[in-house]
Structure 1
């Protein structure tokens, strides 16, 4: 049987790229909780359940020490956890969903031509809608717990969310191509995301990392003859920058330092640039490989 070749639309006909992104994004949003009794409420129930479980384990059983919010005075482990866990949940879900967007839409790709990058972008934007709802509710909770001053950081929260979305799109562009050619990518990334989670200060504070750094240095650990820079290495992790920025604004009621903004922006632009180059280089034969 001859392969089905996607047909390009005639010039001037069919929806433009922006309209396609909007339509596919809304399709993904509507399908997220389709045929479920609670519908969109699952976007609230899921993070609450995860926060409750981690709070029980790391807040009461394996106690992870935290300090009160710098300006908010909040000293509740569940809220400390939520301010980083909710951004991380979007971060991980966006990368994994964007990674599988090409393979999961094999039938659509074989029937009609459209810019392939739209699939990873629209899948991530759909998850961003849920993230926006969760982040809005969390901001309201933090206002009740610590004061309405948290609303002053709304522009910063939106800006950091956009930067994180750009980063996730760049990573997803690369991984979606890798998934087409190497299906083991999904299994590797599932393991890597778990490791990435524990390598990011989410269930523990950066203060704990700093104390561990001091212990390592006191024990004689070094790197190329210099004291072991554990905290510096942690801050090279882009997820640390993203989740730390959200926690600073939501839990401490403070603005992240400019190196955090700079580092997060550099990571986002670098990954978007690399992801776009890789996607453009290998996307031509996607349909044949699928």
Structure 2
């Protein structure tokens, strides 16, 4: 069964599960959906104090927007990173968290992972609207780039969901998966240009020179797909310009490739999930 057929046959179930995720995420909280804004804003405030005022990280001005506000520069990559980690962590736990439902009712299990991704995509959309308003107030002009930004949002959602599907299966058979992923994400965050610019890595890489053959640290650093996603969103929202063609190509390749791989892995193990849980 193809991906499209799966989605078509389970669209009503997927919609209901997504609604359940959205309603249950902040159930019985005072702020409700506003927590989706409070958490990244709190992180932004902390990172701004540490990296802009203590460590004195100075990213380049927006080109050609001319923006020079560290907090907004930070948010343009922090919100995509937060969405990515939320989708992966949420999707990874979706099968184990719905053990009773899986054992009692027959339905496409993939809907559990996809509904988690869609619920976080809705929350991310709200966060991005707030960021767009802030950018407009600051003097930027991100509106013409919204369709392209939406395209990259879909690409990142596919990439994150593909990883989530593979980790969801791994977590069923090896419950330590979620703990390993937590450690990996800590390292991955600082290997991604969220709180510092790529130019900082490029400068240090040039000072050190080749580490073996003609390969430099920057070459290895750029293998990280989240680097391309972070740069793409900054180019569109903060700089107000097209991302490099190579950046776009890398994002498309990683997104489609990882999603299809994750789907194949998930479908291969889907029938045995009830027994494994």
- Does TM-score exceed 0.5, indicating one fold? yes
Give the distance between the partners of 1:210 and 1:222, measured in 2 at CA: 14
C-alpha displacement of 1:243: 1.4
1:207 alignment counterpart: 199
Of residues 106-115 and 235-244 in structure 1, the stretch that sits farther from structure 2 once superposed is: 235-244
Larger radius of gyration: 1
Give the distance between the partners of 1:165 and 1:67, measured in 2 at CA: 28
1:8 alignment counterpart: none
TM-score norm. by structure 2 comes to 0.95
C-alpha displacement of 1:229: 2.7
1:77 alignment counterpart: 70
1:5 alignment counterpart: none
C-alpha displacement of 1:234: 2.2
| Structure 1 consecutive aligned stretches of length 4 or more whose deviation exceeds 3 Å | none
Give the distance between the partners of 2:194 and 2:56, measured in 1 at CA: 14
1:205-251 deviations in Å (ceiling 9; x for gaps)? 0110110111111xxx432x21x332232222111111111111111
Say whether 1:156 aligns with 2:148: yes
1:10 alignment counterpart: none
C-alpha displacement of 1:143: 1.3
Say whether 1:93 aligns with 2:112: no
1:247 alignment counterpart: 234
Give the distance between the partners of 2:275 and 2:142, measured in 1 at CA: 51
Give the distance between the partners of 1:16 and 1:68, measured in 2 at CA: 48
CA RMSD of aligned residues (A): 1.2
Structure 2 CA distance for partners of 1:55 and 1:209, relative to 1, 3 Å: same
Tell me if structure 1 keeps the 8 A contact 2:211–2:217.
no
User: Unpaired runs of 5+ in structure 1?
Assistant: 1-14
Structure 2 CA distance for partners of 1:277 and 1:16, relative to 1, 3 Å: closer
Matches for 1:1-290 after TM superposition, within 5 Å:
16-147=9-140, 149-217=141-209, 221-223=210-212, 225-226=213-214, 228-290=215-277
C-alpha displacement of 1:16: 4.2
TM-score norm. by structure 1 comes to 0.90
Higher helix share: 2
C-alpha displacement of 1:165: 0.5
C-alpha displacement of 1:174: 0.5
C-alpha displacement of 1:196: 0.5
User: Unpaired runs of 5+ in structure 2?
Assistant: 1-7
C-alpha displacement of 1:122: 0.5
The number of equivalent residue pairs is: 270
Give the distance between the partners of 1:41 and 1:168, measured in 2 at CA: 23
